[in-house]
Amino acid sequence: MDKVTRVVTLRDVKLNPYVKAYIDGGNDTTEALGYTDHGVRHASIVAAIARNLLERLGYSERDQELAAIAGYTHDMGNVVSRYFHAQVGAVLVERILSEMGMDPAEVAVVMAAIGSHDPEETCVAVSPVSAALIIADKSDVHRSRVRNPDITKFDVHDRVNYAATRSFVDVNPESRVITLKLDVDTEISPVMEYFEIFLTRMLACKRAAEFLDTRFELTINNVQLL
């Protein structure tokens, strides 16, 4: 007898106790390793950006929902290890979504998006959902991600994130341009320092945007740099 499928939403996913436990656990793991926030805050922002991006570009409501689900669950693999967390997360989400009754074809889309979002040096978009996740994930640069309470002990990642006082992903469907707009306090971190650690992220965004037949741009303090 075939298993009955159901339409699983982001709201359903957020209420799943395993999702919550794995995101929280992964966030604890990354904190112990000295990383910035990878918890519910980051998950929620990535989900919202991914959904908005596909909405603005005219993709179906279901694609938008799958992008949001992938965005929310993309870092669950950190609960096991930071290394290969994308591939581990894809395996974890398969069991959860399958048990929730999601259509297997949709589960496959979410798995592929999560599995291909990192490492950023080599990540390649394999679907619109995947491309939206990559751009949303790599665009979350903001001081609210910093968890180190002692500014005198900031490493370069803390410093660059803390210097970013505003981060916004603008999607122009007419010009087919996706722009990451940052306001950066250069007294905390010079713009060059941003490129030193995040250039690979921006190149990943550029490749993902091209998959969506769009162009990726970066502006910092209203100056276009990419």
As a whole number of angstroms, the distance between CA 155 and CA 163 comes to 12
pLDDT (0 to 100) of residue 195: 93
Provide the mean pLDDT of the chain: 96
pLDDT tier for residue 99 given thresholds of 50, 70 and 90: very high
| 95 has pLDDT over 70 | yes
Structural domains of the chain, with CATH: 10-224 (1.10.3210)
Work out the average pLDDT over 88-107.
Answer: 98
What are the tens digits of pLDDT across the range 50-79? 999 999 999 999 999 999 999 999 999 999
Provide, rounded to the nearest whole percent, the portion of the chain with pLDDT above 90: 95
Give Dmax over CA atoms of the chain in angstroms. 64
Can you give the pTM of this predicted structure? 0.96
pLDDT (0 to 100) of residue 33: 94
As a whole number of angstroms, the distance between CA 72 and CA 92 comes to 13
pLDDT (0 to 100) of residue 226: 87
Q: Which amino acid is at 191?
A: V
One-letter-per-residue 3-state SS of the chain: CCCCCCCCCHHHHHHCHHHHHHHHHHHHHHHHCCCCCCCHHHHHHHHHHHHHHHHHCCCCHHHHHHHHHHHHHCCHHHHCCCCCHHHHHHHHHHHHHHHCCCCHHHHHHHHHHHHCCCCCCCCCCCCHHHHHHHHHHHCCCCHHHCCCCCHHHCCHHHHHHHHEEEEEEEEECCCCEEEEEEEECCCCCCHHHHHHHHHHHHHHHHHHHHHCCCEEEEEECCEECC
| 4 has pLDDT over 90 | no
What are the tens digits of pLDDT across the range 194-205? 999 999 999 999
| 2 has pLDDT over 70 | no
What are the tens digits of pLDDT across the range 142-181? 999 999 989 889 999 999 999 999 999 999 999 999 999 9
- 3 vs 212: which has the higher pLDDT: 212
Residue in 193, 126, 131, 124 with CA at minimum distance from that of residue 158: 193
As a whole number of angstroms, the distance between CA 112 and CA 3 comes to 22
| 1 has pLDDT over 90 | no
